[in-house]
Amino acid sequence: MNPPTAVKTLSDQLHLSHSQMFTYLACSLKYLFRYVLGLPPERISLALPFGSAIHKAIEHYYRSIQKGEPASLKHIQELFSERLHQELTGKKELVVYKKEAPDMDSAIRLGCDMLEAFYTGIDLDGWQVAAVELPLSATLYSPDGVPTDFNLIGVIDLLLGDSNGNLLIVDHKTAARGKNQADVDADLQMTVYSYLLAANRYVFPSASVKCRFDVLRKLKAPKLEHYYTQRTAEHRKRLAKIATHVLHGIETDVFIPNRSWMCADCEHAAVCSDWHRS
């Protein structure tokens, strides 16, 4: 099935994104602080601006592929360095640096090494770039097929296509650790993207969608790892049920703290610790 000629822009309607769902499921109290109360962050983990700068450099590379003028490694490294420098020097909040990158200079060196691993490790053999940073929106249906007042929204990092009309969703990640296949197969982000492709007629409603995480590892010798998975109509149905329950929790003010490994970098740690006193 061929993609539509025009893509809808992200709607101004009530909407739910993967980021919102992920935040609510991981810690609904954090959702309250970020999306309902709109509290400013107390601090910023380096991982956020770092990942954003890497993402921007990779986006530029794939857009240059689309134009038939592939950007050089040096160019995307310079783009990353400039972007990260701007983001870090422009932050009012405390930036929490990491062991692998204890300051801005080391973060830039690490990012440039990671982009070299990306540049030498990427393989598009048999694939063409169909879309880069593809924004999609679709009505969110209940598991019973009843339309809700919400739109599901998302932006797909990269969509590849082959000569047989097959599509491959690619999402870019940076991480210190690798992924395990069980987590890859259960990741809701790819299910959201699959839902959006099916709803916008990029694939048939009953079709299985191929997906891949491209993970750049933050190692002394960085490397690019590929993790493959797929999403079916059953996955999309399960997503609809999860989403409607998340919305119900939000609408009924169910916001509960959840202690986890993510607390170490949480931008609302102080207000969370005082939550029970309010």
Tell me if 197 is assigned to some domain. Answer: yes
Single out the residue of 162, 115, 153 nearest to residue 134, CA to CA: 153
CATH number of the domain at 120, please.
3.90.320
Single out the residue of 162, 229, 220 nearest to residue 194, CA to CA: 229
Domain count for the chain, please give it: 1
Assigned token pair, 88: 């870090």
Please, which pLDDT band fits residue 10 given cuts at 50, 70 and 90? very low
Tell me if 6 is assigned to some domain. Answer: no
Mean pLDDT of the chain: 92
The CA-atom distances, in angstroms, between 108 and each of 74, 92, 143, 205, 206 are: 13, 20, 46, 43, 44
pLDDT reported for residue 2: 44
Tell me if 78 is assigned to some domain. Answer: yes
In this predicted model, what pLDDT tens digit does every residue of 123-172 receive, in sequence order?
899 999 999 999 999 999 887 888 999 999 999 999 999 999 999 999 99
Tell me if 31 is assigned to some domain. Answer: yes
Q: How far apart are CA 240 and CA 138, in angstroms?
A: 12
Tell me if 127 is assigned to some domain. Answer: yes
Please, which pLDDT band fits residue 1 given cuts at 50, 70 and 90? very low
**pLDDT of 47 above 60:** yes
Tell me if 7 is assigned to some domain. Answer: no
In this predicted model, what pLDDT tens digit does every residue of 49-96 receive, in sequence order?
999 999 999 999 999 999 999 999 999 999 999 999 999 987 777 888
Q: Which structural domain, as residue segments, surrounds residue 112? A: 15-277
Tell me if 9 is assigned to some domain. Answer: no
Strands (E), 76-143: 94-96, 128-141
- The answer to pTM > 0.75 is yes
